[in-house]
Amino acid sequence: MRKSTLCSYVICCRRLTCSDNPPLSTLMHSQSEGFRQVIDGLKSPMIETQLDAVWCCINITADTNSRYTNRLIELGALKELKRLISSAHKKLSANAVWACSNIASKLRCFYHHYIILRYMYM
């Protein structure tokens, strides 16, 4: 996917996920394409695209439907968020921590909290 297309898609995702009633099922069409593009946004070399993608992750993981959170985890969001936590860009780093805390709060078992925290600080 071209950078401009990815950037446009991630910005659109951010706007939609920030709405009062985000249409996540529509946004995340075809089971994973939307999720993959958010993950690609996390991998982008452009800070603004990364910020928009992290915001998408924050809003997606804040939703009560944990299957969206699980899909982000399956596609490697934690690895990318962990990388972004060490960013020199403070806002990006803080938002990556926020997204990870949303993910941790979705996990029902203390063991899962332990695993995610351990993974984050390895």
Task: Note the pLDDT tens digit of each residue in 73-86.
Answer: 888 999 999 999 99
pLDDT in tens, 45-69: 999 989 989 988 998 888 777 788 8
pTM (two decimals): 0.73
Question: Residue 93's domain spans which residues?
Answer: 3-120
**Chain centroid to CA 40:** 10
Say which residue, 39 or 24, is predicted with more confidence: 39
CATH, residue 13: 1.25.10.10
Number of compact structural domains in the chain: 1
Q: What is the pLDDT of the chain when averaged over all its residues? A: 77
17 CB-contact burial (10 Å; exposed 0-12 / middle 13-18 / buried 19+): buried
Tell me if residue 27 falls in helix, strand or coil.
helix
pLDDT score of 6 more than 60: no
Q: In this predicted structure, what is the pLDDT of residue 84?
A: 96
Looking at residue 94, its pLDDT comes to 94
Between 110-120 and 90-106, two packed helices, what is the crossing angle to 10 degrees? 160
